[in-house]
Amino acid sequence: MEALIPVINKLQDVFNTVGADVIQLPQIAVVGTQSSGKSSVLESLVGRDLLPRGTGVVTRRPLILQLVHVDPGDARKNDDGNGGEEWGKFLHTKSQIYTDFEEIRQEIENETERISGNNKGISEEPIHLKIFSPSVVNLTLVDLPGITKVPVGDQPQDIEVQIKDLILKHISNPNCIILAVTAANTDMATSEALKVAREVDPDGRRTLAVVTKLDLMDAGTDAMDVLMGRVIPVKLGLIGVVNRSQLDINNRKSVTDAIRDEHAFLQKKYPSLANRNGTKYLARTLNRLLMHHIRDCLPNLKTRINVLAAQYQSLLSSYGEPVEDQSATLLQLITKFATEYCNTIEGTAKYIETRHSLSCLFFAIVYSFFNLLHT
């Protein structure tokens, strides 16, 4: 089953490159209010420091992040012959390879500023990034700007509506799994993430809730009821995580340390729920959901491809037969066209033949024009 995902990723690349939104493919998008920890969740899933995170508006363009699992033995060979373990590639920098994740983050920031300016502006044009690594599962993730209410900096007055539209554009795709991120130190009943997810997925068939900041809850409170689904039930489940705090980011705490500390925290605070929460469990759940999703989507996808193929085939045949006799001169083609034209008037030719002749004539004229240019 796992082999299916790289194929889907490749298809997505092709459609993105040709700028067509012809076939909607399964992917996982993160939604939630600004600073709820969306980028942090994605980053811990990737297992590397690569996304710009922080307080205030940080994610200002959608980021389409494809994780590609490579076997350790298949590590990329550098020009100097040294094997690279993990690397990234952006669509906008073509074949350039990034092995330094700090550089990847810098490139995301630069590319964000290039389109969205440097004063908190938001753009709906996505950045495409691929990460190849032996330590990731095959997933396509979309990081989105967070829901805000009040415009800041260069943001227009209707920023709330614009961001919501942008989010809806990505998550209304029925083949998208929604990761609705809510901070544990806010009331689940006020969760904008779940609200926006319900707009496009009222039955909750493709929404998974992630509860961040378990470590930041008020003294005397815990997330037991929330994690058990007693406050708001979510069909696919609620998974609690602990990401790195701003201080951890400033101190450059590694993802590995963060995951170890998260595990210790869960064991201590929620021993009965520890094996059904945390970043590792989230990654496994997501992979499983994606596989099921792709399997469910395949028959539909196949029908759509067949319909499209049939449409283009009939369009192609409406242009007529190709010119088979390459040696035919322009005069011969025009004579053939003229004869068929006369036949049409006399009522002895079929309509389609005239169409064939017309297209022959067109190609012949273009052909002669190029010949003229070359002589």
Binding piece for ligand GDP, criterion CB under 6 A, among 18-26, 35-43, 80-88, 222-230: 35-43
Residue 216 touches which of Mg ion, ligand GDP, none (Cβ within 5-8 Å per kind): ligand GDP
Q: Give yes or no for residue 32 binding ligand GDP (CB under 6 A).
A: yes
Q: Give Cα separations from 107 to 77, 127, 230, 324 (angstroms).
A: 23, 10, 42, 51
Q: Give yes or no for residue 39 binding Mg ion (CB under 5 A).
A: yes
Looking at residue 89, the DSSP 8-state letter turns out to be E
Distance CA 365, CA 369 (A): 6
87-90 and 83-84 as β-strands: parallel, antiparallel, unpaired?
unpaired
Scanning 139-277, the segments in alpha helix (DSSP H) are 159-171, 192-200, 224-227, 246-250, 255-269
Q: Rounded to 5 degrees, what are φ and ψ at 132?
A: -105, 125
Q: Give Cα separations from 231 to 188, 189, 190, 216, 276 (angstroms).
A: 7, 8, 11, 19, 17
Of 12, 27, 59, 243, the one binding Mg ion by CB under 5 A: 59
Q: Give yes or no for residue 277 binding Mg ion (CB under 5 A).
A: no
Q: Give yes or no for residue 40 binding Mg ion (CB under 5 A).
A: no
Q: Give yes or no for residue 44 binding ligand GDP (CB under 6 A).
A: no
Binding mask 89-128 for ligand GDP (x = CB under 6 A): ----------------------------------------
For ligand GDP, give the closer residue by CB, 34 or 135. Answer: 34
Q: Which residues is 319 bridged to in the sheet?
A: none
Residue 206 touches which of ligand GDP, Mg ion, none (Cβ within 5-8 Å per kind): none
Q: Give yes or no for residue 55 binding ligand GDP (CB under 6 A).
A: yes
Minimum distance from CB of 38 to Mg ion (Å)? Answer: 5
Where do contacts with ligand GDP occur on this chain (CB under 6 A)? 32, 34-40, 53-55, 58-59, 146, 212-213, 215-216, 242-246, 249
